Chain A
Amino acid sequence: MMDSGFDRRDFLKVMGWSGAAVALSGCGNTSIEDGKETLVSYVEAVDYQIPGVGVYYNSSCAQCDAGCSINGKVREGRVLKLEGNPASAINRGKMCGLGQAGVQHHYNPDRLREPLLRNGGSGETITWEKAYALISEKLKGVSGEEIAFLSGVVSGHLKVLLGNYLSSLGSKNHFVYEALAPGVVRAANKKAYGVEMPRYNISKAKVVLSFGADFLGAWVSPVHFSQQYAQFRKGVDGQRGVLIQVEPKMTLTGANADRWVPIRPGTEGILALGIINALGIATGDIAAAVKGYDKARVSKETGVPPGHIDKIAAILKLRSPSLVLAGGAAEGYAHGSQNAAAINLLNHVLGNVGKTVEASAAVPFPQMAPAKGNTAALKSLNDGLAEGKYKVLFNYAANPVFTAPGAMKFKDNMAKAGFKVAFAHYMDETALQADLVLPLESALEDWGTQVPEYMAEGAQINILQPLMENVHPNTRSIGDILLALLKQSRAEEYKNYEDFYAYLRSALVQNKAALGGHAMDEDAFWNETLTKGIIKLVGTTAALSGKAGISGLKLPAPAEIDEQYPLQLIPSVNISLRDGRHTNQPWLQESPDPLTTIVWDSWMEIHPKKAAELGIVEGDIVEITSRIGSIKTQAYLFPGIHPDAISVPIGQGHEAMGRYAKGYGVNPLKIMDAVFDRETGELAMHETRVKVSKTGQRVIVVKDESAAGAKQIREKIAGRVYTDNVDLTKEV
């Protein structure tokens, strides 16, 4: 072929110039569309609707379980923007990025619109009546034990209704599964403090020592903790709070800490006991038990320099009260409960219990308290499915086919259930395996109540109310669906409730005296409730009852390095994507990971030293292999990770769900071993060992940071400097 000299590059240049010209002329009057654009007016005016003027409604965020209250701007009947509701003690008018993306969930082009019935490999659109009739038909002759209902966290009236539905079926098999819930920490807290989730008073603490609790990013109630953190940094008595973060992989909280201490994965408990020993204030059997944890041994086992241990102990002694947190990075081991117990013990020894670890208030209606659960529930469901125990399986607000560890083979086991019903927003991996898929309203279209697990001050019930009419008319509220199903067997009992709204309203109005509305008539109470979006209650406060005990606390020696699989896989929690249920919201894909600034993809974090050893440079496509399988992704050299570990974020690697999720990145959970915490039976998220090999391919990592920015971050990470010559009290 003759080389004309007019290559693609020149062609693009010409195109560019013409494009610019068109764009320029676009700035002129051509953007004025008089005589062209149609102006559509209302046929009938709607009350309170003035074109161009927003109205605001209070509701609740349903993007995670923290339970922030929101205020949505609605214009011309469309919700445009969400803000936090200032009246809520949990978020005080603020929101996180994940919450902001709620509108993209609502308007998502990939939302399900019609009920679908499996017809071979595809779904056939059916009517709701047919769907309900089908469920009733499939339930005929099936005993309660043969029915399983899997859900994410449910609370409030929905939980009550769901409980009633299951009891109408004679089933007790409600499995509550949240892939990233702090299941082990809850159990350890219950033992140490008498409650699963005490109130952590970060703002009152002078030192926070956090073992892998990413409370500024994705842990429990991040918006609330971020505000507490701001106060903590302003300081109590003029002393700016000091944050020390101990974890093998730097989180957002770790990046904000005064001192980030990388630790050998799994040895958090050993360090906690080592600190108790170094403090030297424990007495009795605690003192006796920690005696063996001298500096030299602890330092050797955890990889934390002895000087660091001294300094942490010194500052904890100097400044009281402090607060010690056990988070995700500490609990993800077969001995996770032991780790968490050792860390909680530190709070007892330091006298923080009752000061910075306080009793939290609970809603005085225990039936509305959230049904919680973690991976142990998934395991027991999975075992049941594997045995072929269940004939009918319901799934709501969980996506186990995507989030269950590969070793569980959940997808295969799910196929053994005779009839699978998924209530879903998207055609996600689990819905794809179902026989009947029922499309749900978005949280901005739905009615409901929420009772958050973590209460900030007092107790509160959050109100969920529609900000606008359904985008897709044939989607339904999960409440309406459950009510319709309940009526199949208990028509008489529920005949007064036309829909879930009627149920909700009558349930709240009947209890108005207990909900602070004794002086109001029903309508006034109801209107006020909807206007405020929150019902504040005095709440019942269970006093902290646990005690400092060391009996039964046995920490295993650090695991030996496995020759074949020498590295520890840390499936990290990305602050936007969490467990992957929101991956199809493009804002979240587009917002860079706070530490690596990578967008729209997965990556593997590896310590530069380790990378050099393996000959890996940034952008190398590497294969990560565990006993279960392997994944391939791009390498990112990151000094904020322990050299013995690598980390891949959770949330990417969807094979279904929608256009912004499917086909981006890889799912580290697919190669996860099924190792469980010995005490609680929860999945040990950090127990998977892997090896890493180069594939020979290399890509340019798509990220926001520049080379200079990366260098700066690297220099800032003090953990890299293994020195004893650091005085924390002087540094802060």
Chain B
Amino acid sequence: MHRFLRITVLLTGLFAAFSIYAAESQQSVPMTEDSLGPLVEQPIEFPHNRHAGDADKGGMQINCMYCHTYARRSAVAGIPPLQKCIGCHQSIESVRETPRIKKLFEYWEAKKAVPWKKVHDLPDFVRFNHERHIKRFIEQQNRPFQEVCGYCHGNVKEMTVARRSKGLTMGWCASCHQKDHTVVAEGGTPIGTQAYWYTFYKPEVEDASAGVLKAKGPNDCWRCHK
């Protein structure tokens, strides 16, 4: 009897445990190109479209990296210091009295940081490096910055507050790393003054006669899981 009770309790426990796991895992993001994240409410509804959008849509066409200045220098992109916002806005009289800008100046005068909420986040065991991607695609290959940032962040220039629009799962990352990307010379070198291979392997030469070399992104576990 006691034994039976024990086993029942254990089984119940196991079942409960599995249900917790199953319930959690249902949330896993499908590996599709586009996968909308939650709508995140921010302390100030920052209009990305106004700042970075195209001129014909009323945008200022500001380079992403003008504000997200750490992205090309560090693993993390960072959020611009408040000082940066104020730097421009103190001399833009036309919008000075709008509710959002008033709120911005309130933070500034109190010397308090704006408590932005994270929109793009990866698990702690993944090390994504902004700098590497920017070097690879913007600096070395001269692709348009909005396209490059957009690989992962979506079409931010048409958003107000940013919203995650890609899966950012491992499968999603790998789907891009498995693609053949054009490289400048054999072996991924020389690009600028820096020489490195993109993978452990020599890039597959596709249509070498046309002088087009292609290589896949790094595929070693430790690139991201340090």
Cα-based distance from A21 to B16 in the complex (angstroms): 9
A141 within 8 A of B: no
Name the distance in Å between A471's Cβ and chain B's nearest Cβ: 20
Which residues of B lie under 8 Å from residue A28 when comparing CB positions?
24-25, 27-28
Name the distance in Å between A114's Cβ and chain B's nearest Cβ: 25
Which residues of A lie under 8 Å from residue B120 when comparing CB positions?
34
B150 within 8 A of A: no
Nearest residue in A to B110 (C-beta to C-beta)?
A: A43
Cα-based distance from A433 to B106 in the complex (angstroms): 49
A611-631 residues at the B interface, CB under 8 angstroms? none
* Proximity bits, A5-22, B CB within 8 Å = 1, else 0: 110001001110110111
Known: A43-B81, A52-B75. A13 touches B2 (CB 8 A): no
* Proximity bits, A23-52, B CB within 8 Å = 1, else 0: 011011111111111111111110000111
B1-43 residues at the A interface, CB under 8 angstroms? 1-3, 5-6, 9-10, 12-14, 16-18, 20-21, 23-25, 27-29, 37-40
Instruction: Report the interface size class on chain A.
Output: 35 or more
B82 within 8 A of A: yes
Known: A51-B78, A52-B70, A52-B76. A44 touches B122 (CB 8 A): no
B115 within 8 A of A: yes
Which residues of B lie under 8 Å from residue A29 when comparing CB positions?
27-29, 123
Name the distance in Å between B121's Cβ and chain A's nearest Cβ: 4
A4 within 8 A of B: yes
Known: A28-B24, A32-B123. A45 touches B117 (CB 8 A): no
Which residues of A lie under 8 Å from residue B21 when comparing CB positions?
21, 24-25
Are A40's CB and B113's CB within 8 A? yes
Other-chain residue from A30, A31, A41 in contact with B80 (beta carbon distance below 8 A): A41
A37-78 residues at the B interface, CB under 8 angstroms? 37-45, 50-53
Are A18's CB and B20's CB within 8 A? yes
B79 within 8 A of A: yes
Cα-based distance from A33 to B3 in the complex (angstroms): 43
Are B18's CB and A4's CB within 8 A? no
Cα-based distance from A442 to B18 in the complex (angstroms): 49
A492 within 8 A of B: no
* Proximity bits, A550-584, B CB within 8 Å = 1, else 0: 00000000000000000000000000000000000
Are A51's CB and B76's CB within 8 A? yes
Are A3's CB and B2's CB within 8 A? yes
Cα-based distance from A4 to B29 in the complex (angstroms): 44
Nearest residue in B to A41 (C-beta to C-beta)?
A: B79
Which residues of B lie under 8 Å from residue A4 when comparing CB positions?
2, 5
Which residues of B lie under 8 Å from residue A44 when comparing CB positions?
81-83
B160 within 8 A of A: no
B111-129 residues at the A interface, CB under 8 angstroms? 111-124
Are A41's CB and B78's CB within 8 A? yes
Name the distance in Å between B176's Cβ and chain A's nearest Cβ: 19
Cα-based distance from A193 to B37 in the complex (angstroms): 76
Which residues of A lie under 8 Å from residue B78 when comparing CB positions?
41, 50-52
Are B119's CB and A34's CB within 8 A? yes
Nearest residue in A to B3 (C-beta to C-beta)?
A: A5
Closest 9 CB pairs of A and B: A5-B2, A25-B24, A14-B13, A21-B17, A52-B74, A41-B79, A52-B76, A42-B81, A35-B40
Known pairs A3-B2, A34-B38; list 5 more (Cβ under 8 Å): A17-B17, A25-B20, A30-B24, A34-B164, A52-B78
The chain B residues found within 8 Å of chain A, CB to CB, are 1-3, 5-6, 9-10, 12-14, 16-18, 20-21, 23-25, 27-29, 37-40, 70, 73-76, 78-84, 107-108, 111-124, 164
The chain A residues found within 8 Å of chain B, CB to CB, are 3-6, 10, 13-15, 17-18, 20-22, 24-25, 27-45, 50-53
Q: What are 11 A-B residue pairs whose CB atoms fall within 8 Å in the complex?
A: A10-B6, A17-B14, A25-B20, A27-B123, A29-B29, A32-B122, A34-B119, A35-B38, A37-B118, A44-B82, A50-B70
